[in-house]
Amino acid sequence: DWSMAEYRATKIAEIREQVGVGPDGGKVICGLSGGVDSSVAAILIHEAIGDQLTCVFVDHGLLRLNEREQVETLFREHYHIPLVVVEAEDRFMAGLAGQTDPEKKRKFIGGEFIAVFEEEAAKLGGADFLAQGTLYPDVIESVSFTGGPSVTIKSHHNVGGLPERMNMALVEPLRELFKDEVRDLGRELGLDDKFVGRHPFPGPGLAIRIPGEVTKERCDILRKADAIYLDEIRNAGLYDAIWQAFAVLLPVKTVGVMGDARTYDSVCALRAVTSTDGMTADIFPFDASFLTGCATRIVNEVKGINRVVYDYTSKPPGTIEWE
């Protein structure tokens, strides 16, 4: 029986004890994803040890619209937490060129992410500790997002594998918490409801929502469609009723007509599901008029898309992401 205020105070004391404070205290590095878990972990650790913490955010070019700017504003301007933003888009796009196999895409992104992170840690002169936003479900079931324990449906990308390679001790202040408790702790630390209630976003980012080859141009198209879809969902007051909603850009072109001209452009799929843990999911039953509105806006406002379809597949047999 404990409150989040108590949890916060207890964890701050533990972090100070583990890392040490003042001139003899250790240096901590934390990889931010832009998501709730790593953000809450970083804010809590900064409260405990101040600028002994440095955060690193890798912009791999696979982020959603304005996501990097939101992280910069939150950490630099609001919390005054030291933040290094690594511009790595060109590097990721170069490595993704010509790659169409989903597992190869995932493996490349995971490996490259670790390489970039290690280089930045070296530039910072190394660190004694690596902070991670690991939650209790990650501790008890490391394959929690796959279809089953024995078969790897999709290789998981977070910063897994990083600690062993980097020879740093781990600081994981969220290890006892479930997702909803992390959200409570985030609120306790001053994060607003809009931030703590954000839908999950996968480590490999937009790359697994662009079946086939990923290019900067296709990421830009997808970012626009996705932002319109989420904007419509928020305006309709449906965001919090949905576990996850996003757009997917298909490697298929179809013929359309706009004004009196023929078009030949890409198809965009919209996905929205309800779920409690991501292991199983049901499709969100939008009204037809809502989807019509989204389709109209996307085709009118996003150059490169001339057709929109809705994904009616539950999990199983479909996965939530398309790759």
Nearer to ligand XMP, 15 or 250 (CB): 250
Place of tokens 């469609």: 225
- By CB under 6 A, name the one of 28, 96, 269, 320 that touches ligand XMP: 320
Shortest Å distance, C-beta 45 to ligand XMP = 20
Query: Which residues, 6 or more positions from 94, have their beta carbon under 8 angstroms from its beta carbon?
Result: none
Q: How open is the CA angle 273-279-281, to the nearest 5 degrees? A: 25
Rounded Cα distance between 298 and 226, Å, is 9
Stretch that binds ligand XMP, among 54-62, 80-88, 217-225, 312-320 (CB under 6 A): 312-320
Rounded Cα distance between 68 and 33, Å, is 10
Binding residues for ATP: 33-39
Nearer to ligand XMP, 95 or 204 (CB): 204
Window 236 to 255, contacts with ligand XMP (CB under 6 A): 244
Stretch that binds ligand XMP, among 162-170, 286-294, 295-303, 315-323 (CB under 6 A): 315-323
Nearer to ligand XMP, 100 or 292 (CB): 100
Q: Rule CB under 6 A: is residue 314 a binding residue for ligand XMP?
A: no
Shortest Å distance, C-beta 37 to ligand XMP = 9
Shortest Å distance, C-beta 138 to ligand XMP = 10
Shortest Å distance, C-beta 104 to ligand XMP = 14
Nearer to ligand XMP, 215 or 319 (CB): 319
Window 40 to 79, contacts with ligand XMP (CB under 6 A): none
Nearer to ligand XMP, 99 or 319 (CB): 319
- By CB under 6 A, name the one of 196, 278, 295, 308 that touches ligand XMP: 278
Shortest Å distance, C-beta 244 to ligand XMP = 5
Shortest Å distance, C-beta 4 to ligand XMP = 24
Window 153 to 212, contacts with ligand XMP (CB under 6 A): 154, 156-158, 200, 202-204
Chain contacts with ligand XMP (rule: CB under 6 A): 145, 154, 156-158, 200, 202-204, 244, 278, 315, 319-321
